[in-house]
Amino acid sequence: MSNTWQELLPVDRYTVSSTGLLHDYDRKVMTLLYQPLIGPICTSLYMTLCSELEENRLWSQSSLHYNLMNTMGLNLNEIYVARNKLEGIGLLNVYRKKTEEGKQFIYELNPPLTPKQFFNDGMLNVYLFKKIGKVHFNRLKNFFSDGAIPTNEYVQVTKSFTDIFASDQQTSLYVSDEGEEELNLEQEKRFIGRQDGKELEGFKEDFNFDLLYSGVKPSQITRKAFTPNVQDTIAKLSFLYGIDVLDMQKLVISAADINNEIDIETLRKSARDWYQIESQNQLPTLMDRVQPERDRTQSSEPKTKEEEYIRHLEMISPRERLRQLSGGAEPTKADLQIIEGILFNQKLNPGVVNVLIEYVMLKTDMKLTKAYMEKIASHWTRKNVITVKAAMELAKNEHRQYQEWAKTKKEGKTATRKAVRTEVVPEWLNKEKDSEKEGKTTTKLNEQSAERLRKIEESLGILKDRG
C-alpha cells in the first residue's frame, strides 16, 4: 500500500530543473488544454515550480518541501498526488538520491506539448473533447490556430546558402586540439533552448504485441509495417478505448492499405467507431485509477483494522480489486465492461466502486450481476456517495433492501421452498447493532462460502478473531 510519508517528508530537499526554456505561450497551453484534464492543483504545482527557475536559466536553488507546502497552502499528500499526475501526463521527470541528511529530489520540468502535438495526439485531444464539449473544444482549436498562408499559389524563389556564400579554401581551416575544445561544450553542461513536449509513455509495456502478431498473417500485413509509431498508436488506442488484443487484430487488419502498410488515421477512426458502437456513441473520459485525494477519509496512518481496510480500498483501482477478489486471475472483458460502465455512467469514485464490487460479489456467489450492480450503483449516485466510508455505511443501512432486490429475480423458482438462508457478507457489513440482532435467527454460512470469505479477508489483513 502506498504511503506518502514513506515516499516524501517535509524536510526532504528538492531542486527544480528544466529540459528547455518555458515560454509564456506554454502557460496558455497549460491553463487552457492541460488544466481541464489534470485539475487546478496540478497546474498550480507546475506553475509554482516554473516560477522557481530564474529567467533564462535551467536550474533553481535547493529548497525544502516544507517551503513548497507553505507557498501553495497544501499538505504534503496533496503535493505528492499532484506530482504523480504531472509525471503521468509527461510534464515532470523525478530523480531521487538518498543521503545522510535525507532524500534529495530533482524535479525536471518538461514543456507541455505544442498545440499541434496536443490536438493530433489521438488521446489527450479525445479526453479534452469529452471533458469540455464540442463548442468549447472548437473554440480552443480556433484560439490555437490561424489561417494558413496559401503558398501553393506562389513560386518559391528563396535562395540557398550556396547561392549566397562561398568558402575560402585559401585560408587554413585546420583546427588545433586546443581549438577543438573551444568548439565543443563541456560534458557537464548543456545548451539552453526549447525542447519538444514529452509524449505520453507506458502503453507498450501493457499491450501483448506477441499475441497481436500471432493473429496477423504476413500475407495480410508484414512485420515491418509495425513501426515504432504504429506500435505506439496501437498501444494508446488499446488503453484509450479498452480494446483487447483480439479485437485490435481485426481493427489493424481493416486499417491496412494496398501496400500492406497500416494507415494510422484509418486505425484511429476504426478504433473510435468500435468504441462508440460498444458504448452507445459515447467517448471515453480521463479518470483517476484510484480514489481522488479530495475524497479520501483515511489520510493519516491507520490505527485500526477497519481504517487499514478503508485505506486499502482508497489506494487501489477497481480492476486491481476485482483481481484480488478473483484470487489473482485477470478479470474477464465482460466484468471490466460492467465496472467501466458504472465508473463512466454513474460517475462513482473508484474507491466507492471497490466497495460495490466486494458487496455484490460476496452476495452473488462471487459473480458480477450487471443489473443488480447497476441498481445499487444508481442508488449510491442519487445518495451522492463519494467516499469509501460512506459507501460502507450505506451498504450496512440498506442491506435488507438490497437483499430484497437480489431475491426479486429468484422468486418463482424457490418461492415454495423453505431453505436456510446462507448469506456471505464482508466483515465490515457484519457489524450490526445488538438491538437489531435480538430475536433473529443467526445466519448460517455454508462451509465453502465461509472458507472463501476467510481467505479474502486474510489477504486484506482484516480478519478478526472470532473466538
| 170: in domain | no
The answer to whether residue 172 sits within a structural domain is: no
Q: How far is CA 76 from the centre of its chain?
A: 21
> Phi/psi at 70 (nearest 5 deg)?
-70, -40
Specify whether 450 is located in the same domain as 304. yes
* Residue 59 buriedness (CB in 10 A; 0-12 / 13-18 / 19+): middle
Distance of alpha carbon 282 from alpha carbon 157, whole angstroms: 50
Please check whether residues 318 and 401 belong to one and the same domain. yes
User: How many whole angstroms separate alpha carbon 452 and alpha carbon 424?
Assistant: 9
The answer, yes or no, to whether residue 108 has pLDDT greater than 80, is: yes
Q: What is the pLDDT of residue 42?
A: 94
- Kindly give the pairing relationship between strand 92-99 and strand 63-64: unpaired
Is the residue at 272 inside a domain?
yes
pLDDT tens-digit readout, 229-247: 899 888 888 877 778 888 8
Report the b/e string of 184-209 with b at 16+ CB within 10 A: eeeeeeeeeeeeebbebeebeeebee
Average pLDDT, the chain: 77
Looking at the structure, do residues 304 and 262 belong to the same domain, yes or no?
no
- Domain range holding 353? 293-460
CATH number at residue 89: 1.10.10
Residue appearing with cell numbers 473533447: 129
**Claim to verify: residue 267 and residue 403 sit in the same structural domain:** no
What is the average pLDDT across 206-211?
A: 83
**Cell (9 digits) for 148:** 494558413
Q: Are residues 319 and 271 in the same domain?
A: no
Paired sense of beta strands 13-18 and 102-109, if any = parallel
In this prediction, residue 188 carries a pLDDT of: 62
pLDDT at 47: 94
Report pLDDT for 186: 60
Same domain, 335 and 451: yes
| 375-403 residue pLDDT tens | 888 888 888 888 988 888 888 888 777 77
User: Which residues, at least 6 apart from 87, have a Cβ–Cβ distance to it below 8 Å?
Assistant: 93, 94
Is residue 198 a part of any domain in this protein?
A: no
Q: pTM higher than 0.75 for the full model?
A: no
Residue 115 CA to residue 140 CA, distance in Å, equals 10
- In 346-410, DSSP assigns E strands to none
* H helical segments located in 89-189: 115-119, 124-132, 134-143, 161-164, 177-183
| Residue 258 domain flag | yes
pLDDT of residue 86: 94
pLDDT at 465 over 50: no
- Determine the length of the chain: 467
Number of domains in the chain: 3
Q: Where are the alpha helices (DSSP H) in 205-349?
A: 209-214, 228-241, 245-254, 264-278, 305-315, 318-325, 333-341
Crossing angle of the two packed helices 399-408 and 388-397, in degrees rounded to 10: 70
| Distance between CA atoms of residues 50 and 45, nearest Å | 9
